[in-house]
Amino acid sequence: MKTADFEYSLPPELIAQQPPSARGLSRMMVVHVASGRIEHAMVADIGRWVRAGDLMVANNTRVIPARLSGKRTDTGGRVELLLLEERNDGTWDAMYHASTPARNGIMVRFGGGGWVGEVLEKSNTGRVRIRFNGGAVGELLSLHGVMPVPPYIKRQQDSPLVGMDKERYQTVYARMDGAIAAPTAGLHFSNELLESLKRSGIGWCEVTLHVGPGTFRPVKTDNIEDHVMEPEKYEIREETADLIRRTKQSGNRVVGIGSTTVRTLEAVAAQRDELVAASGRSSLFICPGFRFRVVDAILTNFHLPRSTLLMMVSAFAGRDLVLRAYSEAISLKYRFYSYGDCMLLI
């Protein structure tokens, strides 16, 4: 298929710039895959379609405040880093943004001078390997790091919304540090909604996939099959794999909360031909023609045109139905992307 087959036009005013006043207040489009029927509800009503015995599976990765602003020690020029992942030797891979390109040996001062980063290696893709001196990087991020909300969410550096992002651009069940973007379908759940679903007999378990730049890397190839995903770290524990297997065997449904959860489950099942406890790195690209082995329903936000996320949703529900649902969402002024509304594909 062509990347252009996944194009649609979105009015900019429908890109959500902040979340609703409370979790659970977003709208939810319900898309019945077999019949093509579309309903409209609120995410707090999800228990009307997910029944007792079904199992919700979510991604418990925790977003780190990975965006840092600093100044070069030689020129005073401003540098922005997006920390991607810590290596075993304590250095970090990062995206480097400045008015002049990075070069080996550049020193950047952060946090009013308490920390200095040295660029050890650079690549042609804007990435660097950097070593921090002067204190623990976790403390630096806690004091001076900013949540790495996507660029389509506009933020002024001194906006009070920057502080709000530290709470709301994080799921209530996040506990495994390592992501540079939130698994946004999970942002809709409050603790109260989770407890209500559990009281209704709906199961809950978690996997971990640390969302990296690969999830959002744009598809630049004409043919979608030529796109290559960047690998991301994942883990599925034995108790989670066992619960999912038992749910499937009993004839109940596995509901994937978000695209990253779906990719984690389906990557392991595709590699092993069954779902088992596993950890590693996945570069699975789910696009039309993919055979789903684990998930029976998906809760997901509305995604960017031409994105791998839109292609994954189309693989599950069919491109024509998904684009029709998106057209209806636009006409009804649903809110799009990370802080926006969601759809339940069943």
The angle that helices 259-272 and 308-317 make with each other, rounded to 10 degrees, is: 70
User: Would you state the structure tokens that stand for residue 162, as one six-digit string?
Assistant: 């920057």
Report how far residue 299's alpha carbon sits from residue 255's, in angstroms, rounded to the nearest whole number.
7
User: How many Cα atoms sit within 13 Å of 146 on the Cβ side?
Assistant: 21
Please say whether the beta carbons of 81 and 117 come within 8 A.
yes
Query: pLDDT tens per residue, the chain (346 residues)?
Result: 999 999 999 999 999 999 999 999 999 999 999 999 999 999 999 999 999 999 999 999 999 999 999 999 999 999 999 999 999 999 999 999 999 999 999 999 998 778 999 999 998 878 999 999 977 899 999 999 999 999 999 998 888 999 999 999 999 999 999 999 999 999 999 999 999 999 999 999 999 999 988 777 889 999 999 999 999 999 999 999 999 999 999 999 999 999 999 999 999 999 998 999 999 999 999 999 999 999 999 999 999 999 999 999 999 999 999 999 999 999 999 999 999 999 999 9
pLDDT of 137: 92
pLDDT at 218: 85
> What pLDDT, on the 0 to 100 scale, is given for residue 238?
98
| Topology given in CATH for the domain delimited by 67-144 | Thrombin, subunit H (2.40.10)
CATH 2.40.10.240 in the chain, residues? 67-144
| pLDDT attached to residue 125 | 79
Whether pTM exceeds 0.85: yes
Tokens coding 230: 């960047």
Is 6 exposed, middle or buried, given 0-12, 13-18 or 19+ CB atoms closer than 10 A? Answer: buried
Give span(s): CATH 3.40.1780.10, the chain.
3-63+168-345
Write the class of the CATH domain 3-63+168-345.
Answer: alpha beta
Question: Which of helix, strand or coil describes residue 317?
Answer: helix
Strands (DSSP E) contained in 9-114 are 27-31, 38-42, 55-59, 61-63, 67-72, 78-86, 92-98, 107-110
DSSP, res 200: T
